């Protein structure tokens, strides 16, 4: 007994320890802090979980859109379906760890070897009923590794579901903020258009009275037409964005819309929430795509063990019990009872290289999973750094843009005053109006980009944060 136990123990250790080196290599040293995390005087936003992070914006419309997306989005439904499949496969794999019980009833009719006369045989009918109990002793962990691999696959599917939910949530939020930015942009263009139309009306009247040249009218007509075209382009962009948002919510674009509202009326318009980046080490624990990649790595490790276990023998235990008789009426008599107990130890000797090929295939799968895990971690760090740098530079741009808007507003007022007093031409006023319009729209784009990057940072961090 001891002679047999030592090789079995060695083989089990070999199979359970295989491919541990890549797992250790995958855990490379993480940086101590994000280099893009710059200090700010604003207080960080209150802690939020990954399931409710959008509440930081305190927007009832956004909250409603999120609820509808979580309920109806088809990408999330697909992710749920894949999770159900993975959990079903896990249940099937775990079933192999248990004995298998079957029952059956058999009727056989045919010739037997009892010879009645020369060249003749007597037909006979046999009846049998019984049960079979079989169990494969998992000597080398093949079945356990299969169950564990399926368990890691299910964990990976669970993490991918969370990642899909986070992706859809971030897209809904970014689409919503882009929609609100378009509403404000359209309002800016409309205000400018009304000013141009008012100027055109006055200039046309003055032209008819002979006070100004026709060139002044033509210039204003040009500004009115070009601004109308810009407004129509913004209307087109908003319609397309609303249609894309409808798809995210799993609703028909033909019946979907979000009521127009001004930027200033939004509860989050006063300041952009400050999201603490936290520590890089937490990122590996919180990001669902990294969690999924790690689970896939462990599943690939288990599959190497499964492939190597094929080189070792298998032990199956089978027991049968039941009744067998030539007449159905005598089937349950004591003399019809029968039973058997068998143990089969089998070992494949030659398979044409199949087992080695399967080992090579599983090792290649482990290499792929290892590279995928490392790539997920590196991409996550880069994602966070991208969003942090965007937020930092956008904050600087906003300061400069606010100053530019104030200066352009003063320049516009002075140009209008000079034109009214006859000290400048209408061309100077038009230039000032165009410049103010462009700067106001650019300032809006900077503010809107801050919200886009903030949502991007939340997604990059895995959805939640701790203050």
Q: Over the stretch 171-193, which tens digit does the pLDDT of each residue have?
A: 999 999 999 999 999 999 999 99
Compute the distance between CA of residue 412 and CA of residue 432 in angstroms, rounded to an integer: 5
pLDDT more than 90, % of the chain: 66
Say yes or no to pLDDT of 281 above 80: yes
Q: How many domains does the chain have?
A: 2
Same domain, 195 and 332: no
Bridge partners of residue 322, in order along the sequence: 130, 338
Query: Does residue 465 fall inside a structural domain?
Result: no
Say yes or no to pLDDT of 14 above 80: no
Question: What's the whole-number mean pLDDT along residues 323-345?
Answer: 83
Last residue of a domain, one of 287, 321, 346: 346
Question: What's the whole-number mean pLDDT along residues 389-409?
Answer: 95
Query: Does residue 3 fall inside a structural domain?
Result: no
Report the CATH number at residue 166.
1.20.1600.10
The answer to whether 426 and 434 are in contact (CB under 8 A) is: no
| Residue 2 pLDDT | 41
Same domain, 281 and 300: yes
| Residue 3 pLDDT | 40
| Residue 27 pLDDT | 58
What integer best gives the mean pLDDT of the chain? 88
Say yes or no to pLDDT of 20 above 70: no
pLDDT: is 149 or 321 the higher one? 149
Same domain, 109 and 93: no
Same domain, 268 and 119: no
pLDDT digits (tens, 9 = 90+) for 124-155: 788 888 899 999 999 998 999 999 999 999 99
Q: How confident is the model at residue 25 (pLDDT cuts 50, 70, 90)?
A: low
Instruction: Collect contacts of 33-41 with beta carbons under 8 A, ≥24 apart.
Output: 33/279, 33/280, 34/277, 34/280, 34/381, 34/384, 34/385, 34/388, 35/385, 36/277, 36/384, 36/385, 36/387, 36/388, 36/389, 36/392, 37/277, 37/388, 38/388, 38/392, 40/274, 40/395
Query: Does residue 430 fall inside a structural domain?
Result: yes
Same domain, 197 and 244: yes
pLDDT more than 70, % of the chain: 91
Query: Does residue 4 fall inside a structural domain?
Result: no
pLDDT digits (tens, 9 = 90+) for 245-276: 999 999 999 999 999 999 999 999 988 999 99
Same domain, 109 and 211: no
Report the CATH number at residue 119.
2.20.200.10
Q: Is the whole-model pTM more than 0.85?
A: yes
Question: What's the whole-number mean pLDDT along residues 417-427?
Answer: 83
Q: Where are the alpha helices (DSSP H) in 249-353?
A: 280-286, 288-309
Q: How confident is the model at residue 1 (pLDDT cuts 50, 70, 90)?
A: very low
Q: Which domain holds residue 259?
A: 9-97+140-312+353-460
Q: How confident is the model at residue 113 (pLDDT cuts 50, 70, 90)?
A: low
Query: Does residue 2 fall inside a structural domain?
Result: no
Last residue of a domain, one of 299, 328, 346: 346
Same domain, 236 and 224: yes
Same domain, 79 and 59: yes
Closest Cα partner for 149 from 16, 299, 351?
A: 299
Query: Does residue 15 fall inside a structural domain?
Result: yes
Question: What's the whole-number mean pLDDT along residues 236-253?
Answer: 96
Task: Tell me which of 112-116, 285-289, 340-344, 346-350 is least confident.
Answer: 112-116
Same domain, 60 and 205: yes
Q: Which residues contact 251 (CB under 8 A, 6 or more apart)?
A: 68, 72
Query: Does residue 357 fall inside a structural domain?
Result: yes
Say yes or no to pLDDT of 13 above 50: no
Same domain, 172 and 90: yes
Same domain, 210 and 241: yes
* Sheet with strand 314-325: strands edge to edge: 100-115, 121-137, 314-325, 337-346
Same domain, 144 and 276: yes
The answer to whether 39 and 458 are in contact (CB under 8 A) is: no
Query: Does residue 16 fall inside a structural domain?
Result: yes
């Amino acid at each position: 007994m001891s002679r047999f136990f030592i090789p079995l123990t060695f083989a089990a250790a070999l199979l359970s320890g295989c491919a541990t080196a890549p797992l250790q290599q995958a855990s490379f040293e993480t940086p101590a802090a994000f280099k893009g995390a710059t200090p700010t005087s604003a207080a960080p936003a209150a802690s939020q979980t990954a399931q409710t992070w959008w509440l930081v914006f305190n927007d009832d419309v956004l909250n409603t859109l999120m609820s509808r997306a979580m309920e109806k989005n088809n990408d999330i439904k697909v992710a749920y379906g894949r999770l159900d499949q993975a959990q079903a496969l896990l249940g099937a794999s775990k079933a192999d760890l248990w004995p298998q019980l079957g029952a059956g009833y058999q009727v056989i009719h045919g010739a037997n070897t009892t010879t009645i006369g020369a060249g003749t045989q007597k037909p006979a009918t046999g009846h049998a009923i019984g049960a079979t109990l079989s169990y494969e002793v998992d000597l080398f962990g093949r079945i356990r590794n299969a169950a564990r691999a399926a368990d890691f696959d299910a964990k990976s599917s669970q993490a991918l579901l969370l990642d899909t939910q986070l992706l859809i949530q971030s897209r809904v939020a970014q689409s919503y903020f882009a929609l609100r930015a378009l509403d404000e942009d359209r309002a800016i263009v409309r205000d400018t258009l009304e000013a141009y139309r008012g100027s055109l009306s006055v200039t046309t009247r003055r032209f008819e009275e002979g006070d100004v040249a026709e060139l002044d009218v033509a210039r204003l007509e040009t500004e009115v037409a070009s601004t109308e075209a810009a407004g129509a382009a913004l209307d087109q962009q908003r319609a397309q964005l609303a249609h894309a948002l409808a798809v995210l919510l799993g609703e028909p674009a033909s019946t979907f819309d979000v009521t127009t509202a001004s930027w200033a009326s939004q509860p989050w318009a006063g300041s952009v929430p400050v999201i603490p980046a936290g520590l890089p080490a937490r990122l590996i624990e919180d990001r669902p795509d990294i969690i999924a990649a790690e689970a896939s790595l462990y599943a690939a490790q288990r599959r190497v063990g499964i492939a190597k276990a094929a080189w070792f023998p298998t032990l199956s235990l089978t027991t049968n019990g039941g009744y067998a008789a030539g007449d159905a009426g005598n089937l349950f008599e004591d003399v019809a009872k029968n039973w058997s107990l068998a143990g089969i130890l089998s070992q494949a000797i030659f398979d044409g290289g199949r087992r080695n090929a399967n080992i090579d295939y599983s090792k290649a799968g482990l290499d792929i999973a290892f590279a995928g895990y490392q790539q997920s971690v590196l991409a996550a760090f880069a994602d966070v750094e991208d969003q942090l740098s965007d937020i930092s530079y956008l904050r600087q741009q906003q300061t400069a843009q606010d100053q530019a808007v104030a200066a352009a507003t003063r320049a516009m007022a002075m140009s209008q005053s000079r034109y009214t007093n006859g000290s400048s031409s209408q061309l100077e006023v038009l230039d000032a109006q165009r410049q103010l319009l462009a700067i106001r729209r650019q300032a809006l784009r900077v503010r809107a980009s801050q919200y886009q990057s903030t949502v991007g940072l939340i997604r990059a961090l895995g959805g939640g944060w701790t203050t």
